[in-house]
């Protein structure tokens, strides 16, 4: 069997790789279009996407909607016929507005985590072809969404992304669960595949399950396909590409990181997160970065009066390479990155690794 394709409803992606949506500004049209052109599923992150707009602080919702529409159009123009999606976190205060903008721009899929998107189908007008793909961290969450969506909207999700505790950024796990063997991705994927097996996607086919969080090599991809996953989602690998929308200094922090530099932090939004340790995080832990005010009100669960720093500002600074004033979110395997390569070369490496692992396995 050659490297698999991924089918979600009437949408077929030649290479079964979804590029993870990485905010703030890490995965925009540049990265998403390159992934789509290489045969994968390119994803724009909507989180803080309007950071460079002059009215980002004074007109937060409109600034983000404006840039999201612009980035979707740019990605589609750069990769005609390629699959372009948008990642929109449930926890974002402007979730509904961003969803409407993405659907209006006819994105191929909306990926949504950081909470259960119980109302997501309610935003989809009749006849719209945008696929709805929740990001979950357990079989229980996946089954709840299937039941709730069927009850309220008469449909199920088009696919699920199952994100394990080795992922970068905000994690859908308690701190004590992150290193618990009961929550390894292999186990979670098998449980979700079994949990959603009684349900079918809106097109009547089995619901595809996508493995995410710690997938690094072609051999990893093959392992999850054998466990029943229809494909994988990868974020960390795509940061270390020429086409990634982050500043080169952001990318270089991955190349320079050691295994001990990849740490779990407590985010102002109330969730654990995984990042590359730096001086900014030390100063934040000492209370030296406490925000005086909050111009954005971007996350429902963030109380700026108690926050050690402004997460949006810190991530925006990091995206621009100003790592003394921010930090880089990263997956557990970020320390394994040893160079920056093109998206096309990364796909070539992953496909070759998959095929080598397949050739080496017993018949």
Local confidence band at 300 (pLDDT 50, 70, 90 cut-offs): low
For position 134, what pLDDT does the model report? 98
Q: Tell me which of 105 and 299 has the higher pLDDT.
A: 105
Residue with tokens 């960390």, as numbered in its chain? 236
* 42, β-bridge pairs: 84
Q: Which of 60-64, 157-161, 256-260, 309-313 has the lowest mean pLDDT?
A: 309-313
Residues 6+ apart with CB under 8 A from 202: 9, 155, 156, 158
| pLDDT higher than threshold 90 for residue 297 | no
Question: What is the number of H-type helices and E-type strands within the chain?
Answer: 11, 13
For position 299, what pLDDT does the model report? 59
Q: What is the pLDDT of residues 88-102, one digit of tens each?
A: 988 777 889 999 999
| pLDDT higher than threshold 80 for residue 305 | no
Q: Out of 3.40.50.300, 3.40.50.1370, 3.20.20.70, 3.10.20.740, which CATH number does the structure's domain 6-246+337-360 have? A: 3.20.20.70
Q: What is the pLDDT of residues 176-197, one digit of tens each?
A: 888 888 899 999 999 999 999 9
> What are the extents of the domains in the chain?
6-246+337-360, 248-334
Q: Which of 20-34, 160-174, 299-313 has the lowest mean pLDDT?
A: 299-313
Query: What is d(CA 328, CA 183) in angstroms, rounded to the nearest whole number?
Result: 24
| pLDDT higher than threshold 70 for residue 298 | no
- Asked if 257 and 236 count as a contact pair (C-beta separation under 8 A), the reply is no
| pLDDT higher than threshold 70 for residue 87 | yes
| pLDDT higher than threshold 60 for residue 292 | no
Query: What is d(CA 264, CA 175) in angstroms, rounded to the nearest whole number?
Result: 8
For position 55, what pLDDT does the model report? 86
Local confidence band at 108 (pLDDT 50, 70, 90 cut-offs): very high
Q: Is cis: bond before 24, omega within 30 of 0?
A: yes
For position 51, what pLDDT does the model report? 83
Q: Which of 11-15, 61-65, 75-79, 120-124 has the lowest mean pLDDT?
A: 61-65
Query: What is d(CA 335, CA 319) in angstroms, rounded to the nearest whole number?
Result: 18
- Asked if 162 and 186 count as a contact pair (C-beta separation under 8 A), the reply is no
Query: What is d(CA 114, CA 112) in angstroms, rounded to the nearest whole number?
Result: 7
Residue with tokens 């590409």, as numbered in its chain? 241
Mean pLDDT of the chain: 92
| pLDDT higher than threshold 80 for residue 22 | yes
Local confidence band at 68 (pLDDT 50, 70, 90 cut-offs): very high
| pLDDT higher than threshold 70 for residue 348 | yes
| pLDDT higher than threshold 90 for residue 330 | yes
Q: Where are the alpha helices (DSSP H) in the chain?
A: 29-37, 60-78, 95-104, 139-153, 185-196, 218-226, 236-239, 248-256, 279-285, 311-319, 343-360
For position 293, what pLDDT does the model report? 58
Q: Which of 27-31, 276-280, 303-307 has the lowest mean pLDDT?
A: 303-307
Q: What is the pLDDT of residues 117-160, one digit of tens each?
A: 999 999 999 889 999 999 999 999 999 999 999 999 999 999 99
Half-sphere exposure of 203 (CA within 13 A, CB side): 14
Local confidence band at 115 (pLDDT 50, 70, 90 cut-offs): confident
Residue 269 Cα distances to 11, 29, 125, 228, 265, angstroms: 34, 26, 31, 33, 11
């Amino acid at each position: 069997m050659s490297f698999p394709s991924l089918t979600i409803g009437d949408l077929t992606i030649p290479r079964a790789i979804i590029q993870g949506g990485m905010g703030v500004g890490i995965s925009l049209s540049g990265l998403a279009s390159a992934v789509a052109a290489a045969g994968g599923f390119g994803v724009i992150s909507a989180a803080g996407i309007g950071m460079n707009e002059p009215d980002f602080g004074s007109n937060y919702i409109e600034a983000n909607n404006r840039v999201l529409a612009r980035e979707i159009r740019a990605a589609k123009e750069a990769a005609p016929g390629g699959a372009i999606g948008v990642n929109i976190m449930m926890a974002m205060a402007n979730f509904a507005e961003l969803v409407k903008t993405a659907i209006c721009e006819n994105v191929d899929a909306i990926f949504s985590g950081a909470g259960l998107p119980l109302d997501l189908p309610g935003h989809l007008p009749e006849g719209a072809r945008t696929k709805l793909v929740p990001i979950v961290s357990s079989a229980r969450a996946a089954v709840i969404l299937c039941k709730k969506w069927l009850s309220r909207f008469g449909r199920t999700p088009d696919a699920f992304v199952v994100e394990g505790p080795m992922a970068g950024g905000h994690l859908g796990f308690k701190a004590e669960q992150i290193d618990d063997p009961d929550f390894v991705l292999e186990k979670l994927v098998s449980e979700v595949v079994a949990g959603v097996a009684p349900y079918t996607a809106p097109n009547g086919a089995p619901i595809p399950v996508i493995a995410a969080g710690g997938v690094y090599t072609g051999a990893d991809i093959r392992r999850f396909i054998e466990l029943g996953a229809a494909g994988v989602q990868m974020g960390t690998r795509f940061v270390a590409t020429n086409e990634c929308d982050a500043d080169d200094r952001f990318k270089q922090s991955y190349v320079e990181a050691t295994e001990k530099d990849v740490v779990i932090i407590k985010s102002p939004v109330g969730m654990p997160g995984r990042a590359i340790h730096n001086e900014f995080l030390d100063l934040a832990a000492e209370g030296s970065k406490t925000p005086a005010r909050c111009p954005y009100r971007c996350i429902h669960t963030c109380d700026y009066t108690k926050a050690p720093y402004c997460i949006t500002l810190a991530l925006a600074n990091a995206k621009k390479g100003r790592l003394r004033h921010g930090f880089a979110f990263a997956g557990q395997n970020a320390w394994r990155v040893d160079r920056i390569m093109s998206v096309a070369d990364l796909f070539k490496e992953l496909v070759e690794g998959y095929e080598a692992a397949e050739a080496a396995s017993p018949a």
